[in-house]
């Protein structure tokens, strides 16, 4: 019988050698008192130099504006919107402390000048190759943020906002500083699942806000599955008419445009996943003859269907039209095609499929049949000028994949060996296996996510360059709009730092202090992030109103 943890059982701290345990424990427990003020940067930038010299800011006099010679100007909606947004993030608390935020004697920081050096890319969507590097100097009355592209300027604005804190007098304060920063991996993702439970658009937008606070840049949208088909196709409207939970539980193409544009303004890509040939029971409700009829001996089982039927030409005619539509609705270069957990029993029971396999020389190896299907689907995707992401089974089953197909590794057993094999074959890889956030446990499980090292696998330097990043996955069997945000944050923040910061940034005690305060900052910004452990946020009473 399952046993619950004792109600007051404390979450254990990381184990330490006995002679170090007491000092480290005291340091951790005293951290809130010792570091009550000052910046808490998350994720940790590549290079940070902070001076004890403090500057002060007056909300009514402080400006964020375009720097001289910037290729981005007032017509750059990404930056204009970001200037407004970050001013609110920095000073939105001002009304709660009105009368306490008077400028003390000393230098006043009056302006942040933001300069985009190269072609700004203000009017395009971010991509896997987007430059997110930036350089930030806070010195005297004017701070300077420089970036090659607008995407780096967005990341720099987040860092600048994190540098500002309120001192014991309530004055907005920032230390003189010099920061050089760029991400370690280009793909830093969150997976959400809108098939097991429908997530309102406003919940998805709130997730994008939180991602930007953590410098995560890919929303992997697992939009449909066996349980429901909430994507509203114009070409095949019956897919959602019959496959969604409710007629109201759908994402119109206007909704998707809203999400992708909202994401673009935050430097976030949206990669849709339409998983086939398995996980497709909801597809069959609105598309006749798409799924495989299952048999018991020679008798067809009425109403029982398996994965997509890979034999008839009508299957590929449908897929060609459907993914042609998807390629126009979602602007990103990549489409995730799934390919995981295909159950072969129904295929094996179907006489048409068995005959087809004999003709093709597949024998009884249904992995070859899946590879046949995937190869044809990849060819369809290539005609749309898109690239493909697949789950690791597609690679494991020995299918012929097109160069550049991205393999997502999700099986937690011996995933370093999987990374080795996939990169040895020359494919780019996304790591998800150690970051399945739907597996919850009592205690501070953020630490195990934080302590993962994506490049700890046998392989050459060239192989390790093929690890393009990772994803924190939150599958939706037990998640809807009521608990998505607290279950994601700040646990996903640990993954965010691991994928952004240098691999040497791994001090769990320093991370605890910074993440504790970063979590409070997220809550202050409207993200209902759960606590790391016992304690409080300085403005708990205001955040709960």
Of 187, 163, 50, whose CA–CA distance to 112 is shortest?
Answer: 163
Contacts of 439 (CB under 8 A, 6+ apart): none
Parallel, antiparallel, or unpaired for β 172-181 and 47-57?
antiparallel
- Distance in angstroms (rounded) separating the CA atoms of residues 506 and 44: 10
- Distance in angstroms (rounded) separating the CA atoms of residues 539 and 537: 6
Print burial letters for 453-464: b (CB count within 10 Å at least 16), e (below 16): ebbebebeeebb
- Distance in angstroms (rounded) separating the CA atoms of residues 415 and 470: 13
Catalytic one of 81, 88, 238, 341: 341
Q: Is 341 an active-site residue?
A: yes
Contacts of 276 (CB under 8 A, 6+ apart): 283, 307, 308, 319, 337, 338, 339, 373, 377
Are the C-beta atoms of 177 and 137 separated by less than 8 Å?
yes
CB 494: neighbour CB atoms within 10 A? 27
Contacts of 396 (CB under 8 A, 6+ apart): 418
Parallel, antiparallel, or unpaired for β 134-139 and 172-181?
antiparallel
Longest alpha-carbon distance in the chain: 89
Residue given tokens 């369809």 in the structure block: 380
- Distance in angstroms (rounded) separating the CA atoms of residues 403 and 482: 41
Point out the residues that are catalytic.
341
């Amino acid at each position: 019988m399952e046993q619950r943890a004792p109600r007051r059982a404390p979450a254990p701290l990381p184990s330490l050698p006995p002679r170090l345990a007491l000092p480290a424990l005291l340091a951790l427990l005293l951290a809130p008192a010792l570091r009550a003020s000052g910046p808490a940067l998350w994720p940790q930038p590549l290079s940070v130099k902070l001076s004890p010299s403090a500057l002060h800011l007056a909300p009514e006099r402080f400006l964020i504006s375009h720097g001289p010679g910037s290729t981005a100007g007032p017509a750059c909606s990404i930056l204009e919107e970001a200037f407004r947004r970050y001013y609110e993030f920095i000073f939105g608390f001002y009304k709660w402390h009105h009368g306490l935020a008077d400028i003390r004697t000393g230098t006043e920081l009056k302006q942040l000048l933001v300069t985009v050096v190269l072609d700004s890319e203000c009017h395009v969507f971010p991509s896997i190759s987007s430059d997110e590097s930036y350089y930030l100097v806070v010195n005297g009355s004017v701070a300077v943020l420089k970036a090659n592209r607008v995407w780096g300027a967005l990341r720099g604005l987040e860092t600048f906002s994190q540098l500002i804190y309120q001192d014991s007098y309530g004055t907005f304060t920032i230390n003189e500083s010099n920061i050089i920063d760029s991400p370690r991996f280009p793909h830093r993702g969150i997976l959400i699942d809108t098939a097991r439970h429908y997530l309102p658009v406003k919940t998805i937008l709130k997730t994008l806000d939180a991602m930007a606070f953590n410098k995560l840049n890919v929303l992997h949208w697992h939009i449909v599955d066996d349980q429901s088909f909430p994507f509203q196709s114009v070409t095949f409207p019956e897919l959602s008419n019959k496959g969604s939970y409710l007629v109201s539980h759908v994402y119109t193409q206007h909704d998707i445009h809203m999400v992708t544009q909202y994401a673009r303004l935050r430097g976030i890509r949206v990669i849709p996943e339409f998983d086939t040939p398995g996980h497709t029971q909801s597809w069959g409700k609105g598309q006749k003859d798409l799924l495989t009829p299952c048999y018991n001996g020679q008798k067809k089982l009425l109403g029982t269907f398996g994965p997509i039927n890979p034999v008839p030409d009508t299957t590929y005619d449908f897929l060609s039209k459907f993914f042609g539509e998807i390629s126009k609705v979602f602007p990103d270069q990549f489409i995730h095609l799934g390919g995981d957990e295909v159950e072969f029993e129904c295929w094996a029971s179907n006489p048409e499929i068995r005959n087809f396999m004999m003709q093709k020389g597949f024998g009884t190896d249904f992995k070859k049949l899946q590879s046949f299907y995937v190869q044809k689907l990849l060819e369809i995707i290539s005609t749309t000028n898109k690239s493909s992401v697949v789950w690791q089974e597609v690679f494991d089953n020995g299918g012929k994949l097109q160069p550049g197909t991205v393999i997502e590794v999700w099986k937690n057993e011996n995933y370093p060996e999987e990374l080795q094999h996939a990169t040895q074959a020359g494919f780019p890889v996304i790591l998800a296996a150690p970051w399945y956030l739907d597996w919850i446990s009592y205690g501070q499980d953020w630490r195990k996510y934080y302590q993962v090292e994506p490049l700890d696998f046998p392989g050459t330097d060239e192989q390790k360059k093929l690890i393009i990043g990772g994803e924190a996955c939150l599958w939706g069997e037990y998640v809807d709009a009521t608990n998505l945000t607290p279950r994601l944050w700040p646990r996903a923040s640990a993954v965010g730092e691991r994928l952004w910061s240098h691999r040497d940034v791994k001090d769990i005690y320093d991370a605890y202090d910074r993440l504790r305060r970063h979590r409070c900052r997220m809550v202050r910004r409207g993200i209902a992030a759960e606590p790391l452990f016992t304690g409080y946020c300085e403005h708990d009473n205001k955040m709960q109103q």
